[in-house]
Structure 1
Amino acid sequence: MIKKNRMNHVQKNGVPCGDHPRAWLFRYRITGLLTMSAVALVLLSACGMNDAREGKPSSGTKPGQQLTVIDTDAARQQVTDELVVSSIDKLGDVYARSWLSDEELIVERQTRLLIHNVKTGKERALLPDRKAPQLLAVVSPDQRHVFFTEGSTSSKYDIRGYILELSSGKVTPIGKLDMSNEVSWGDKEHLITGAPDGKIYLIGLDGKAKELKFQDPNRTELITHVEKVGNAIFYTGNDKQGYRVLNRFTMDHPQAVTIANGAASFAVSPDGKWIAIEKRKWNTSEPARMIVLDEHGKEKGTVGQGTLMSRGSWSSDGSKLAFSIYDEDQQGMRGLYVFDQSTGKTTPVTTDIQSYDSPTVWSPSARFLSMYQNISEGEKQLNQSYIVQFKEK
């Protein structure tokens, strides 16, 4: 499973980006910075639901304004239930990685992992005694462990993974990581990852990897993204023509079945009841759509549309879906959005964030949302992180 890493730096949650020929695959689409512009709503029909109500804001929509994209009974709730942005703070020259709590966010600053307190602004080292360059950090669902990666002072291609037990400070190695390894938490006791040979592995807290056996007649040589929710395993695969699909199998029934066609990326809610996919029609100029499916793959509605999208990110209770989007159409959707299941509405958070190749990460209670993107200051390229705080209902 574990091979030599070919990367010059790591840009997102478990997905390294570098100068390897495959690196484009993990930038989600086209590289480069995109300028901010107006935000407008694109409404599409929802399968098995009432017709959506169209709303088109004027240029320069302010954070906290609402756009209805899925019409549900929940949308009739009071205004007090709607999602409202309280503040958006910026952290200069830093990668926001993962939340330890609603007050503490792990960030990477100049190849060191730090714990940033969002209330005081103070920072302390996550691993003060380790000297190797530190890159990624992903907190487990129960906030007891952190998966992190380190580089080598002798070779930028030598990337290794570790599990930190927060209570004791114990560090367990899991070995070298190939540049195509995207590692995430499958549950509180296991990491999960796809491999360049088309295999899927669970990695325990002891650092030992176990291959998951499954059958897929169209299995690819590279599985770029995999998620585990309960007993079910979801991953991006291919159909017979080589186009991307979302597949699922279970630990008890290892025959993979296709849940959705044209799935360029996906995210499953923690309870497994909802799936957000970026759906694309290949070899066309049609924009991609962010679609919410139920657990059986039935389309419930479209919550966004545009040229480029980040992978969706569900809050821990599955009530909210965050994603950023860029559209070539000046009147299209651009910026960071949050879809709220309780109201059936999508809120434009800010047009400042249009990064489609970096993760959006929720704090445990979903009061905060973090994301980063590259910005230009003269001839310099810097990492700008954002912390969005929502008003309590």
Structure 2
Amino acid sequence: MNKRQKRYAAVMAFVIALAAGLSACQPPLQQHPAGGGSGGSPTNQGAAEGQGSESKRKLTVVEGAVKQEHQAVSVQRIHRLEGANIETWVSDDALKIMTTTPVKAGTAQKEPEFVYTTSVVDLSSGDKREESAPIQPEDLTVTKEQVSPDGRYSFIQDWADKYTARNYMKNQETGVVQEIKLPNYMELGGWLDPDSYILAAGDQAGRGDLWQIGTDGTAAKLELEDPDVELFTEFGVSRGSIYYLDNQGRLKTFKPGQSRPETVSKQVGQFEVSPDGAHIAVQAYGTDRSSSELRLLGPDGREEGGALAKGNLIPYLAWSPDSSKLALAVYNEDQNGLNGVYIFDYESGLLSLVGPGYFPQYPLSWSPSGKRLGITIAGEDSLPVTQIMDLNL
């Protein structure tokens, strides 16, 4: 099972294994000024200063407290969603969430019991509209939806379990949904262009096939000649190119019709391609893999400056929709190092701390405009708590 599939499988395992204790009288949506929430108040810590021209940008992590003017991004307000994780953004003001509610405490012999409800929350008004009656764990479905670059279509996957998915292409203008009938064991993929989606379908015995799926519902198999990849662990698609990691930790790329890949970088643990295809954020590791550095590369592998961040663990990366900012979670055993959720601003070269001490349990999630960032952490009794941050950019 690849790492991204594990993230979605972890969603299933995480919500089912949560402990009881959420108070039923607590309102579903609370708004806090900057600094509210269980993760502590955003402070001015950690910055990467840019020097020189863009092509020769020098990025250096600055640890410890810095002045306010060195903070390119700050938090204006936090919307706190108790017991909830983000399913998808409906608009910049509304998002679909799944709420976990304990119904029976666990014992030495039995696991605790929970039910789940899906709702749409309006952040501007605080209104919450439930979309489903309480769902039992055995009926729980995880839905992943990726909207095309022009917003006209979306590729949807429904996971009734952690092994297989049903795939659909939805016309956002008409609401028509067409099922794409392919065997699918992984959720890796992305939009190649506004008219086609690339899916790494996977297989129970190997990496499986790569499919180019059109918005009209057609599917064509892509050829890839690479003996050094048995299972896709990292996969990305952007602006006509496909990226993946091979067995040796080498970042490679190819285009449809180009069956032999090219190597972009080596000793890569994970990567995230910006939506505009201009930058690749890579987690580069040392020989002992006990620590890693976050670096930016161009599409050809050219390094853009020095390290943005260093840590024992960099679990999540997420580019903003306009590719101008990169959200990242960093953990260091050394408390003097970077710890928490940061936003890197490409234009200024600054790294701003927005979630001090936060250790996300789910992928970081940007709103469609990039003016809000969703972070889900473990709250009281290990129930998920989602913090939606209104950002001053």
> What TM-score comes out, normalization by structure 1 length?
0.73
Q: Which residue does the alignment assign to 2:28?
A: none
Which residue pairs with 1:161 in the alignment?
167
| Alignment match, 1:106 | 96
Q: Considering only aligned residues, what root-mean-square deviation do their CA atoms show, in Å? A: 3.7
Kept after mapping to 1: 8 A contact 2:50/2:348: no
Alignment check: 8 A CA contact 1:42 1:304 kept:
no
Q: Structure 1 residues 18, 93: CA separation in 2 closer, same or farther (over 3 Å shift)?
A: closer
Q: Label 1:372 to 1:229 Cα distance change in 2 as closer, same or farther (>3 A).
A: same
DSSP-derived class of the 2:293 partner: strand
Q: 1:11 to 1:148 in 2, by over 3 A?
A: farther
Question: Contact 2:319–2:327 at 8 Å: present in 1 too?
Answer: yes
Do the aligned residues in 2 keep the contact of 1:190 with 1:204 (CA within 8 Å)? yes
CA distance in 2: counterparts of 1:235 and 1:19, whole angstroms = 25
Shift of 1:270: 1.6
Q: Are 2:387 and 1:377 aligned?
A: no
Query: What amino acid is the match of 1:391?
Result: N
The Cα of 1:345 is off from its aligned counterpart by 0.6
Deviates more, 1:138-147 or 1:330-339: 138-147
**Match for residue 57 of structure 1?**
64
**Is 1:325 equivalent to 2:330 in the alignment?**
yes
Q: How far off is 1:175 after superposition? A: 4.3
Q: 1:207 Cα deviation (Å)?
A: 4.3
* 1:386 match: 387
Partner of 1:78: none
What secondary structure, in the 3-state scheme, does the structure 1 residue paired with 2:352 have?
strand
Q: 1:200 to 1:341 in 2, by over 3 A?
A: same
Q: CA 1:54/1:179 → structure 2, altered by over 3 Å: closer, same or farther?
A: closer
Distance in 2, Cα, partners of 1:167 & 1:127 = 24
Query: The residue matched to 2:80 in structure 1 has which SS?
Result: strand
Query: Which of 206, 211, 227 is equivalent to 2:221?
Result: 211
Matches within 5 A, 1:203-242: 203-218=213-228, 220-238=229-247
How far apart, in 2, do the equivalents of 1:320 and 1:255 lie? Answer: 32
Matching residue's letter, 1:17 = A
Q: 1:329 to 1:285 in 2, by over 3 A?
A: farther
Residue aligned with 2:125, SS: coil
Q: How many residues align?
A: 339
Separation in structure 1 between the aligned mates of residue 168 and residue 117 of structure 2, nearest angstrom: 15
Deviates more, 1:164-173 or 1:333-342: 164-173
1:348 is matched with: 353
Of 244, 251, 259 in structure 2, the residue corresponding to residue 246 of structure 1 is 251
Paired position in structure 1 for 2:298: 294
Q: Does residue 273 of the first structure (1) align with residue 274 of the second (2)?
A: no
Q: CA, structure 1 residues 339+42, in 2 after alignment: closer, same or farther (shift >3 Å)? A: closer
Equivalent residues in 2 for 1:139-158, closer than 5 Å? 139-140=146-147, 141-152=149-160
Amino acid at match of 2:315: S
| Aligned with 1:193 (options 193, 199, 204) | 199
Instruction: For residue 250 of structure 2, give the secondary structure of its aligned residue in structure 1.
Output: strand
Aligned with residue 16 of structure 1, among 9, 14, 18: 9
How far the C-alpha of 1:116 sits from its partner, in A, is: 2.4
Equivalent residues in 2 for 1:105-144 (5 A)? 105-110=95-100, 112-124=117-129, 133-140=140-147, 141-144=149-152
Instruction: Report the secondary structure of 1:372's partner residue.
Output: strand
% of aligned pairs identical? 24
8 Å contact kept, 1:278–1:311: no
Q: Give the alignment of 1:39-54 within 5 angstroms.
A: 41=46, 49=56, 52=59
Q: 2:236–2:242: 8 Å Cα contact kept in structure 1?
A: yes
User: Which whole-Å CA distance do the structure 2 matches of 1:368 and 1:36 have between them?
Assistant: 17
In the alignment, is the contact (CA less than 8 A) between 1:338 and 1:349 conserved in 2?
A: yes
Q: In 2 relative to 1, CA 364–317 (structure 1 residues): closer, same or farther, beyond 3 Å?
A: same
Instruction: Deviation per CA, 1:228-262: give whole Å up to 9, x if none.
Output: 22221111223xxxx21110012243320110111
Residue of structure 2 aligned with 1:174, choices 175, 180, 191: 180
Query: Which residue is 2:24 aligned to?
Result: none
Equivalent pair of 1:98/1:107 in contact (CA under 8 Å): yes
Partners of 2:327 and 2:168 in 1: how far apart?
28
Listed as ranges, the gaps of 5+ residues in structure 2 are: 14-37, 101-115
Q: Does structure 2 retain, via aligned residues, the 8 Å contact 1:133–1:150?
A: no
**Runs (5+) with no aligned partner, structure 1:** 21-34, 68-81
